[in-house]
Amino acid sequence: MKNYIDVSTVTDITFVLKVIGLTLVSWVPLHTVRFLSERWDPSEAAKIMKRAKIMQKQEEEEEAALKREQEKAEKEKKERGAPKKKVVVKKTDKQPNSGLNAQLLVDEEKSSP
């Protein structure tokens, strides 16, 4: 095999640079055209995924804003010493043959600091 291939030629830096150059010359144009075509005219699936990501981000932002508002309201209640509300649901039958109706009672208790 040594009679057919000169190993010193393959390990030479110019050979390696030529191989890299040829690879880039054949690879870059194809992938550049592919990237630009997907960028300018995306597929329907890509459009749907982009819209889904935008909607998910908006939902996460809304949830974060709601959580901040709830935390702020809880903090204000603690600072004011607002009474806690206890919700009790009692089932009553006030009208005959109408089934069971639920009556909602709210008891307020002073919170102990």
DSSP string across 15-61: HHHHHHHHHHHHHHHHHHHHHHHHHHS--HHHHHHHHHHHHHHHHHH
CB contact at 8 A, 106 and 85: yes
- First vs last C-alpha separation in the chain: 90
d(CA 21, CA 95): 90
How do residues 42-60 score in pLDDT, each as one tens digit? 999 999 999 999 999 999 9
∠ Cα 20 21 25 (to 5°): 120
pLDDT at 64: 92
| Per-residue pLDDT at 105 exceeds 80 | no
pLDDT at 92: 56
d(CA 30, CA 72): 55
How do residues 54-91 score in pLDDT, each as one tens digit? 999 999 999 999 999 999 888 888 888 756 566 555 55
Q: Which two tokens stand for residue 101?
A: 């109706």
Q: Does the predicted TM-score (pTM) go above 0.85?
A: no
pLDDT at 95: 53
pLDDT at 93: 55
